Structure 1
Amino acid sequence: MKLMRRTITGSLLLIIATSYLLQIATVGYEDRFLLNRFYIENGEYHRLFTVALVHGGLWHLAFNLIALYALGTPLENYFGRTKYLLILTVSLFCGSTLSVLLNPSYVYSIGASGMIFGLFGALALVGEKAGVQWRSILIIIGLNFVFGFALGGVDWRGHLGGLIGGALMALVLNRAK
């Protein structure tokens, strides 16, 4: 029996889903991973990355997992595992950093959306080369920002940081390709 090749996207889907199960089963689990300026100012820099492991409910989780699969698969195929992992990491870092820098100190952030928006940013630049229509991506990005502003409770600063980080990494890595 031939085993399927494990992908970064598939591994992340499994890690994030498992983390959510732990979150709903363990009291205080999310407190160890959520993002806030206070924690960063006190040296808990790992939270810039662990924020992607906790979510605000099943819908939040589902949207991020579906988006990760839909956006991540063509990017991983196009860039390869190492460059794709770099895009994910930089997107998450940039999203978390902008969230910490621009949000009021009382705001807590959760979720993988900064990283997901980095995938939007990367696909906006290389979408057609990766087999995705970039106009569709731009429409989805725009709708997400509109709904984020309209509904509230969405860390648009983290989304924007991830979008910028993913786009910049795709630009740099695509030139090196």
Structure 2
Amino acid sequence: MNDQAVCCYRHPDREAGVCCARCDRRICPDCMVSASVGFQCPECVAGPSGGARRPADSGPRTVAGGSHHADPALVTKIILGINVAVWIAVLAVGDDLVTRLELFGRFPLSDDGLQGVAEGQWYRLLTSVFLHQSPAHIGFNMLSLWWLGPPLEAAFGRARYLALYLLSGLGGSALTYLVAPPDSASLGASGAIFGLLGATAVLMRRLNYDMRPVLALLVLNLIFTFTWSNIAWQAHIGGLVVGSAVAYGMVHAPRGKRLAVQLFTCGAALAAIAAMVLVRTFQLG
């Protein structure tokens, strides 16, 4: 076999379709050691004394280049806690808090005049991601977050995972603001959740896992998005597109330029979000 790019680094005569989640070298089935996320090569499992020399700055790294932590779900727990805390605050304060934090482009609220993102209240693009309107709404979203979040956090690392979540949520808000009528309200973590779902598909493809379960789940959720009433499909699609794009840039970044490519990917996503917001604000101005 002449194409070394698809051969196991320990067995050059064997085809390798999987990369080690730590060192990113290709490994054949005989060298694949199952780990919490993906597979590792025998030398990475054995630790620094395994005989292979790693780059000085690599250490134990996730598939996206992040650090491993004792609690791979800490950020997910914090995000979940914030959503629950905001839900409890809404129950305690009332709907007035919802009207001050939910997303809409422009709308007259009682005697306060015009309010909304077009009036400079850009914070609504983010605060609306942590609002929910019913027990079923927050229950389904938080269950999805708890199911999708920890594996992605373990694979991406805390900082990259947090960036993925926030950019996905902002992407959903931005597309909603751009397309939906300015007086229609939108709230919920669904855009961010769809971003995590898209990132899961990207990660599974990167690790050469069976794509059928996640694709079936994605198709099912898209069917619900466009058939159920009172669902902001713009938030779902915006979050899905941004989350998938950010995840692709993170897990496919070359090792030598990984951080630069990942920062560029996140910056490009943020720039696209800002462009949608500015375009819509100009239209409503």
**Higher strand proportion:** 2
2:78 pairs, out of 11, 16, 21, with 11
Deviation of residue 165 (structure 1)? 0.6
1:34 pairs, out of 102, 127, 137, with 102
> Gapped runs of 5+ residues in structure 2?
1-69, 107-115, 259-285
More displaced 10-residue stretch of structure 1: 148-157 or 92-101: 148-157
Q: Which amino acid aligns with 2:79?
A: L
The match for 1:163 is 240
Higher RCO by CA contacts (8 Å cutoff, separation 6 or greater): 1
Q: Which amino acid aligns with 1:13?
A: L
Q: Which amino acid aligns with 2:169?
A: L
- For residue 252 of structure 2, give the secondary structure of its aligned residue in structure 1: helix
**Structural mapping, 1:107-126, within 5 Å:** 107-126=184-203
Answering whether residue 144 of structure 2 is matched by residue 67 of structure 1, we say: yes
More displaced 10-residue stretch of structure 1: 139-148 or 165-174: 139-148
- Mapped to 1, the partners of 2:235 and 2:158 lie a distance apart of 24
- Mapped to 2, the partners of 1:60 and 1:131 lie a distance apart of 33
More displaced 10-residue stretch of structure 1: 30-39 or 74-83: 30-39
Identity across matched positions, percent:
33
- Mapped to 1, the partners of 2:206 and 2:155 lie a distance apart of 8
Deviation of residue 134 (structure 1)? 3.3
- For residue 109 of structure 1, give the secondary structure of its aligned residue in structure 2: coil
Highest Rg: 1 or 2? 2
Deviation of residue 149 (structure 1)? 2.0
- Mapped to 1, the partners of 2:87 and 2:225 lie a distance apart of 22
Deviation of residue 54 (structure 1)? 1.1
Deviation of residue 145 (structure 1)? 1.9
Moved over 4 A (4+): 128-133
Aligned CA distance change for structure 1 residues 56 and 32 (closer, same or farther; 3 Å): same
- Mapped to 1, the partners of 2:104 and 2:197 lie a distance apart of 24
> Gapped runs of 5+ residues in structure 1?
none
- Mapped to 2, the partners of 1:85 and 1:130 lie a distance apart of 21
- Mapped to 1, the partners of 2:98 and 2:173 lie a distance apart of 16
The match for 2:224 is 147
Contact 2:225 2:236 in 1 (8 A): no
**Structural mapping, 1:49-64, within 5 Å:** 49-64=126-141
More displaced 10-residue stretch of structure 1: 116-125 or 127-136: 127-136
